[in-house]
Amino acid sequence: MKKVIVFCVCVLVMLSGCGKRETAAEAIQARYSAARAGSMEAEIVYHLPKESRTFTVRSLWDRKETTTTILAPEEVADLSAKVSKEGLAVSYDGAAVSVGEELQELSPASCVSRFLQAVAEGYILETGEESVDDLACLRVTFDTESADGGSLLCTVWFEKENGTPYYIEFSQDGTVMLTLRTLSFELEGEEE
């Protein structure tokens, strides 16, 4: 009888820990859903079939659009892309070209917008605790729908201390497509 009681207590303790992680993930999701604007600097690695390309970017967003400007490499620095409901527009040195309504599923130009959407609206598929670079993190995988109706996963390692995204990974069908390492992050205001 003692063994059964000890087993039940252990199960309850384990379940209570799972609930805390889920509650933390839901609180992060609510915070992103309510945010009005923000900014992010990140190192993006775009994983192509035969090579990977690295960019350092600064993104500014509000509820209408996300503007991402390349800071490095120098060859493409100051190239900007605006993502909104109307589509993608690329600009450089004052000139802008509309790329149209159909956005590439996931690119360095659209990944910050996709990240924000995934955290605010995605289905919380799984949560866990992990350390990244000796930093205690809450790992949350958000399941979102891709343009072809499939599943696009966005896994985010949030700093446990303050909920700031530290590392972000997009994958589809088990293949990592794009990663972001946050250099700075700010989320502004919540709806009153």
Measure the CA–CA gap between 45 and 148, rounded to whole angstroms: 23
- The string of pLDDT tens digits covering residues 42-66 is 999 999 889 999 999 999 999 899 9
Token digits of residue 112: 């910050």
Count how many domains the chain has.
Answer: 1
Residue 160 falls inside a structural domain: yes
Q: What is the DSSP letter of 75?
A: G
Residue 183 falls inside a structural domain: yes
| Alpha-helical regions (H) of 53-152 | 111-121
Predicted pLDDT of residue 9: 39
For residue 162, report the phi and psi dihedrals to the nearest 5 degrees: -135, 0
Q: Residue 124 belongs to what domain range?
A: 2-66+106-190
CATH of the domain at 53: 2.50.20
Strands 35-47 and 52-62: antiparallel
Predicted pLDDT of residue 22: 57
Residue 48 falls inside a structural domain: yes
Residue 178 falls inside a structural domain: yes
Residue 113 falls inside a structural domain: yes
The reported pTM is 0.81
Inter-residue contact 56 to 75 (CB < 8 Å): no
Residue 145 falls inside a structural domain: yes
Which segments in the chain show pLDDT lower than 50? Answer: 1-19, 96-103, 192
Q: How many CB atoms lie within 10 A of CB 160?
A: 16
Residue 77 falls inside a structural domain: no
Residue 92 falls inside a structural domain: no
